[in-house]
Structures are given as structure tokens and as C-alpha cells.
Chains A and B, each alone.
Chain A
């Protein structure tokens, strides 16, 4: 039984028909052309599918699409719309990402952190991004970039 849902996606109102058991991640990627949230574990372990739902970072692989009717969603596409944020500039400067697959989720989680806590300690940064797995970098270059961005803001 399909149902039409409408929500704000990266600043734009979008409507789409979904089955009640359609996963938000697959709807975003498959039906709405938003490709930065990635499938990697499908069970909320890794954070590669992180999006901002009403301003909060959530795992889009754990949410049914039907739940976001009327909500506001921001993905990395939305974050980069008006040029790079200082955090993104800092990631570039620090060569933060290697393969880059975790970058969208990591960036949204770190963005949320810096909004809530503009000057986090190193421990707070580590704790905030602990739900976003990265297999390449050992996290060092990512943590440094977030701390550096926070100093500049």
C-alpha cells in the first residue's frame, strides 16, 4: 500500500510515494537522487548513512521513509550548496579523508557537534564521532580538522 509523503530535503519541498516498509536511506538514494548517505552496514553500526533529521544526526538506514513525512532533512548535498563550510575547508587542509566513504556521515555528525558545542575538547570530539566508523585514517586527521575548525569559529 503506497503512501505519498512530503518533506523538505536540502531546502526544497519534495514528494515521493513509498511503501510502509521502505527504508529512508534507499528512498533518498534510489528515488530522490541523493547519493551522499551511503549503505555500509544496514543496521546503524557505522554511521555512513548519517543525515540531519530536523537538525539531529540520525541513521537513515534505521528509519522508515514514511516516518519523515513533514520533516526537514539535510544531507551533505545540502551542506555544500552555498560553498564549503569552514569545517569542510578544514577537512581539505588536513587531508582528513582517505577513501572518503565515511566522509558524508562524518561531516554531518561533526557539523552537528560544532553547532551544539562550538568549542569541544578532544575527548568530546572523539565521543561525538565514535558512531561514525572510518577504516582508513585512524581518525587522527579527522579529529585534528574538527578541532582546528572549532578554533577558527
Chain B
């Protein structure tokens, strides 16, 4: 293979100069002129209630108020995979903070003042906040109309209950395998809710102009999906896809929270009632917590059977998810996590129930890790315990049972090539696994914890990416795509892929931010799939452009195309070393021939990518027979944790994580993902602790009381490790790694606590308080 010049090199980010100079513009930085209206939302104070009446008359009298609207003005349901979500609450509210009405005013102060004057009369209904309670026979039903909701064919809601979706996986005979196993162990683990905490809050601005077009500027991971969902929801108004334009400038963090559509639809709906006025809906930090998506809470009942030699023979995993009242997106988290709730292990007998349950807590949905962070806390805590109980080293146990290329996964398809064993070995070596460490401080102990992970992109089987690539007169390139730069370095990676094919240095390449009028289709920037999927589209666009370049050179100079190649921004010829034609000489204006006429014209590459081997056509009772996932990315992590025995306070002395990138297009950016994802994961286990009152109201929707890590919380040492076992269908062998980096953090900390103190904490977060109390009370297990 020829040496790569651009792929595999740590170039500086294309967007970094914009960001350090402040040139980068985010939605709230755009100016919309004096006609702009500000929206203030009237929110439900009850977790579950019927709306009896709404009186807007006092609010309408406030100077500066232009319009007050209620749910009656927008009787629309929407959702990504199921239409169970409402633009505004209709006859009932389902969580505290739900949007009931809105005030549009010329300034935010008037809007706020008027919103307080909207009088809503409610009739309270019984409510349910816990998913296990919501499954009981006498639980209040949150969606009486569930039977009438549209959903994708691979969702299985149970009307008459609070079950939004039930994914079943059945392989082999688990009961027989448990009966024949030498050792069987079962326990229950709990993961609470978490918030994404993008530093930029959600924001959406929409304008319904006098021609009937809607333009939306939103902070989004999903411009085309947003357009699609807006068009579906507003179809009764006669609005179609071509009438909607979604523009997304830079986005200040996503982590799944800005995937799909949540609050953005409010601006769009509101704009339709005030033609000619741009309408801005900007979430406060508090709303950011309770009215976008949270991460779903999970109860995992897991049972594992092993042979004496450590071979896993069976796994049963019952997953109960608290989705809140709207599961249009969250149920796909449940689906994806259910399909893969074995963890990265080779297990012949599998029984998984992954159940998405409606509750009256705020709506939950996608969050970095997409269910895998949650399931891995249970799986990876449990696997360490099983190993120890049979007297086997937890790392050796994982090495023995780690899934390998070709092994069938839970739904029967073969596992893709992967470097899981290499990741395990490299992490174990880096962390000096097996070597006991002692603190110099007699009050402190040190433990080590290990975890492995896998994750597949959770996508419908026919999701796609598309790219245009165009040249300018000087041979520079604009790549026009709709993937989103949410911080991961997407732009830079796309430029490196095109640079490699076209021999154009990345300083001469721009990657354009999405505008659905102009940029071609991208499903969404989610699932850690854009390096792989959009990377393939960009690679194909570059190959298409290269083919056009060779064709025009062939026509003008009669050189055989097979002899041509690109190097240093020039077309060169293997059979004629004298021939060197700079790209800039012809990529716009063509090549002049002997008679003075020209050949060619602007070079314009086009590439698309859609996986053509995936299917969700499987047996819903077993999940066998389909191929829902494209591939898995694997890795391993370990932590060296110091614990103060008096206070329970923990400090991460060293964190190591290896991830199999297939091919790291930009190693520095991969390391950046590991550093960032690891800390985000460590935060869920060590710091972040969302609290609700007895009616499901979030008590700490701010950074004072919901502690995300500061620079002071960075582990003393972090060692990122890149493994590269190529993905056969990835661009230059690459696969996604971004979400994955936070997955092993929680179980590796819980495992380190047990290693240090012999105390098993079975619920997240693993706080100093829990540890100190367990020591004080002499407990060996904490529920």
C-alpha cells in the first residue's frame, strides 16, 4: 500500500482558528433585526394533569406582547421513530416543565412578564415516576392513545400499558445452560438519569416569510432530520420539505442532546402564527436540564452462568428503562442497548428483555453512549464479580471470553474484525494490572478497576450520507456536506480524506456547515457514524472528482487514464515523467486543445454512502435473522483510584483507555475524544447526581448543584491508546470512536472501589458519601 500523506496525521483542526479568535458564530450570535420576537414558554407545574382551561387575556395586555398561543393552535404530534410527542401539550400534561402555552413579545422582559399572567386550570391526575412502578397493573396510563401512534416497524409498543417498546433477544437455551453451568450469579444494578450539559444551551430561530417559506437557524446535530420532522409535523399547514430550510452554524456541544428534534419545533410552530417575524426560542440552563432530552435511567437485572474454567455459557439481562413521557427517540436507545446487552463477549445462550417504560419524569433520549454506558455499568461490574467469585483474574476472564471476529453476536450476525484483545492487553500493561499499589498516606487505599466495551452505531438500516466536492480557480476545494461539526473534529477528518485522494493540502480545503437548501443529505450527526459514513461519501466524491480530472486530461492529451495519478496538486503520468499538469490550470476553465477549443469545465465530485447489508427484518420474538448493526467499535479501560477511608473521597491517579479506531484519520483528535469522553464518563460515576422531588421536579437544574467536572477534576494521568484493526468498509479502514470513550468509565471506577475496599456499589453515581457510609456501616454491598 502506498504511504498515506494526509490520513493518519495529526493536523490542526480546520475550525480551530475560528474558535480561538471568536470568529465562530453560533445561532445566538446571529442578528435577526428589530422585527425579532422572543418567546417565553408557559410550563406545567404538575407531573400529570388534564388541562381544563387556559386564559391568556391578561398576558395579551402586557405592552410589547404580540401574540399568546396555546396547544389548541398546534394540534400536532411528531417524533423521530414514533409520533408520541406534542408540539404543545393538548388535553394533558405529562411532566413538570412541559410546554403548555407561549408568549411572543418584542423583548424578553415583556415575554417573561406576560407568561406569568397566563392562567391555566388543571385537574391533577395520578402520576408515576419510577419505571418499575409504571409497569404495575394499577399504574396510571400515560398514553391512553398509544395504539393510534405511528411508529417504525421495529418498535413494539404495548397499548394499554406504559410500555413504549420491548426489544427481545433470544439465542440458544438460557435455562438449560444455567442448569448445566458450574456457577451462576445474579444481581441488580441501577443507573440514574444524567444531563448532557452542552455549554451552549438549545436555541432555535425560525422565520415564516411572506412567500410561505420557513427558514430555521438551530443548534442541531440533525439539520436534514429536523427538516423532515418539521415538514411532517406542519404538513396540515400545506408546508412541504422544499418550503423549509434549516441552517446550522457552529454548535456548542451536542452529545446526543441536540439530535433529532426537541425544543426546536417550538420556534418553527410559533413562527407560523407571526408571518414576517423571526421568532427566537432560547433555552435557559434550567430548561436545558428538564425540557430537551435527559439520559434514561436504567434498572438492569443480570444473570450470568459460567463453567469452572471461566467460559461464559449463558447471560440473561432484563433492562428496564425510564424514558419519561415521550419515547420517540429514547425507545431506540432501548432498542440498540437491548440488541447488544451481552457486552463484548462470546455467549452462546442469551436472553435479553429491553423494555422502554413511560413515566412522568422529563423526556429522555439519546446521550453519548446511547444506552451502552448504562448497560455496561451493570455488565462490566457483574463480569468482574463473576470472575472473582470463581477465582479468576478479571482481565484473564475478559481475555478468555472476549468476542472475536466471526463470533455470532446476540442477534446472530458475525462480529466484525476488531482489536479487543489488543486493547485489553495494552491497557492491562499500561496500568500494571496485578501489581498492588499502596498509598503513602495510611488513611488512603488504592484500587484498580478494569472494563471493556463495545458499541455499534444505532441507525435505521438505510441511513445515508452524501457529499459534493467542488474546486475553485486556484485549485482549492469546498466540501459541501451536512454532517455537523459538534466539536469532534469532523471537518478536519473530512478534509484529510479528500486531501489524500486528490493530493490537495488540507490548508486549501474548506468543509461547509449545513444548510439544507444547498448541502446534500446527511441523516444526522449521531451514532459516532460520520467518520465512517460521511467519510465514505466524501471519499467517493473525491474519487468521482479524480475520475473527471483523468477523463478531461485523457480527452485533451490522449493519455491513457490508467497511467495518470495525482501528486502535489498536479496530474502526473506514469509513462511520461515530463507530463505535469497543475490542477489549478484546468479544474474550472478546462484544458485548451490544439485547435483553441476547450475540454472539461468545473470539476464537481459527488459521493453517497448507504450501507447495503443492514436489515431490521428479524423475528420480533428473538431478534434473530436480521442485521441491524453495521459494525461494533471496541475497546478497554482501566483506572487507578485512590480512596480516603475516612471521607470516601476518591481521586483518579491514572486512567487508561484504548479504543479501536480501525484507522485513526487524525490521531490527535482521537486522543482528544478519549480525554474528553473519559472525563465525561468519570463525571457520571464520581460527580453528577441529578435529584428530583416527589413529583418529578428536577431540584438541581444548574451547574451550582449539578456538578460537571472542572479542570481541578482531571485525573492526575490519562493515557489514551489507539488500536487500529481496519474496518473493511470504512474510509481508509476507519470507524467511529467518539461516544465510546465514555462507556467504560463508570464500571471501572466501581470495580476499583471493590478492589480497594471490598465494597461493591451497585448503583451510580459512586459518590464519596456512598463509599464513606459503607465503610462506616461495615457494608460489603451498596444497592
A96 CB within 8 Å of chain B: yes
A62 CB within 8 Å of chain B: no
Interface secondary structure of A, over-half rule: loop
Which of B171-179, B318-326, B587-595, B702-710 lies on the face that meets chain A?
B702-710
B462 CB within 8 Å of chain A: no
Q: Taking each of B28, B252, B672, B711, which has the highest tally of chain A beta carbons within 10 Å of its own beta carbon? A: B711
A84 CB within 8 Å of chain B: yes
In the complex, residue of chain A having the shortest beta-carbon distance to the beta carbon of B720: A140
A129 CB within 8 Å of chain B: yes
Cβ-defined contact, B200 with A88, below 8 A:
no
Q: Which parts of A95-153 form the interface with B (CB within 8 Å)?
A: 95-104, 107, 125-127, 129-143
Chain B residue numbers with a CB within 8 Å of A76 are: 21-22
Cβ-defined contact, A139 with B20, below 8 A:
no
Cβ-defined contact, B253 with A135, below 8 A:
yes
Q: Which parts of B538-565 form the interface with A (CB within 8 Å)?
A: none
The smallest beta-carbon distance between A1 and chain B, in angstroms, is 14
Cβ-defined contact, B13 with A95, below 8 A:
yes
Cβ-defined contact, B250 with A125, below 8 A:
no
Cβ-defined contact, A138 with B718, below 8 A:
yes
Q: Known: A100-B18, A133-B708. Contact between A35 and B29, CB under 8 A?
A: yes
Q: Which parts of B15-56 form the interface with A (CB within 8 Å)?
A: 15-22, 24-26, 28-29, 31
The smallest beta-carbon distance between B721 and chain A, in angstroms, is 15
Q: Known: A92-B20, A93-B12. Contact between A39 and B711, CB under 8 A?
A: no
Q: Known: A38-B26, A101-B252. Contact between A107 and B679, CB under 8 A?
A: no
A46 CB within 8 Å of chain B: yes
B208 CB within 8 Å of chain A: no
B4 CB within 8 Å of chain A: no
Cβ-defined contact, A99 with B198, below 8 A:
yes
Cβ-defined contact, A99 with B703, below 8 A:
no
Cβ-defined contact, A101 with B676, below 8 A:
no
Cβ-defined contact, B718 with A39, below 8 A:
no
Task: Tell me how many residues of B have a C-beta within 8 Å of chain A.
Answer: 55
B712 CB within 8 Å of chain A: yes
A40 CB within 8 Å of chain B: yes
A24 CB within 8 Å of chain B: no
Cβ-defined contact, A135 with B255, below 8 A:
yes
B392 CB within 8 Å of chain A: no
Once bound together, how far apart are the Cα atoms of A97 and B706, in whole Å?
23
Inter-chain contact total with CB atoms closer than 8 Å? 162
B751 CB within 8 Å of chain A: no
In the complex, residue of chain B having the shortest beta-carbon distance to the beta carbon of A100: B19
B67 CB within 8 Å of chain A: no
Cβ-defined contact, A135 with B703, below 8 A:
no
B131 CB within 8 Å of chain A: no
Once bound together, how far apart are the Cα atoms of A97 and B15, in whole Å?
9
Which of B81-89, B434-442, B484-492, B754-762 lies on the face that meets chain A?
B484-492
Cβ-defined contact, A96 with B16, below 8 A:
yes
Q: Which parts of B190-206 form the interface with A (CB within 8 Å)?
A: 196-201
In the complex, residue of chain A having the shortest beta-carbon distance to the beta carbon of B492: A95
Chain B residue numbers with a CB within 8 Å of A42 are: 284-285
B184 CB within 8 Å of chain A: no
In the complex, residue of chain B having the shortest beta-carbon distance to the beta carbon of A80: B21
The smallest beta-carbon distance between B706 and chain A, in angstroms, is 10
Cβ-defined contact, A143 with B22, below 8 A:
no
B680 CB within 8 Å of chain A: yes
In the complex, residue of chain B having the shortest beta-carbon distance to the beta carbon of A33: B31
Q: Known: A42-B285, A136-B253, A138-B718. Contact between A99 and B200, CB under 8 A?
A: yes
B448 CB within 8 Å of chain A: no
In the complex, residue of chain A having the shortest beta-carbon distance to the beta carbon of B250: A100
B669 CB within 8 Å of chain A: yes
Q: Known: A35-B22, A38-B252, A46-B199. Contact between A100 and B15, CB under 8 A?
A: yes
Once bound together, how far apart are the Cα atoms of A103 and B679, in whole Å?
18
Chain A residue numbers with a CB within 8 Å of B680 are: 135, 138
B165 CB within 8 Å of chain A: no
The smallest beta-carbon distance between B288 and chain A, in angstroms, is 9
Q: Known: A98-B676, A99-B199, A138-B679. Contact between A40 and B488, CB under 8 A?
A: no
Cross-interface CB contact of B16 among A41, A75, A92, A101, cutoff 8 Å: A92
Chain A residue numbers with a CB within 8 Å of B199 are: 38, 40, 46, 48, 99, 101-102, 133-135
B164 CB within 8 Å of chain A: no
Q: Known: A98-B676, A101-B199. Contact between A143 and B704, CB under 8 A?
A: no
B512 CB within 8 Å of chain A: no
A69 CB within 8 Å of chain B: no
Once bound together, how far apart are the Cα atoms of A100 and B251, in whole Å?
8
Once bound together, how far apart are the Cα atoms of A138 and B741, in whole Å?
12
Once bound together, how far apart are the Cα atoms of A108 and B308, in whole Å?
60
Q: Taking each of B21, B31, B200, B487, which has the highest tally of chain A beta carbons within 10 Å of its own beta carbon? A: B21
Chain B residue numbers with a CB within 8 Å of A100 are: 15, 18-20, 24, 250, 252, 487
Once bound together, how far apart are the Cα atoms of A139 and B682, in whole Å?
13
Cβ-defined contact, B702 with A43, below 8 A:
yes
Q: Taking each of B24, B28, B708, B718, which has the highest tally of chain A beta carbons within 10 Å of its own beta carbon? A: B24
Additional pairs, 4, CB under 8 Å, beyond known A138-B676, A141-B675: A97-B19, A129-B711, A133-B708, A140-B672
Q: Which residues of B does A touch, CB under 8 Å?
A: 10, 12-13, 15-22, 24-26, 28-29, 31, 196-201, 250-255, 282, 284-285, 486-489, 668-669, 672, 675-680, 702-704, 708-712, 714, 718
The 10 closest A-B CB pairs, nearest first, are: A101-B252, A100-B19, A98-B487, A99-B487, A45-B703, A138-B679, A36-B22, A138-B675, A76-B22, A35-B29
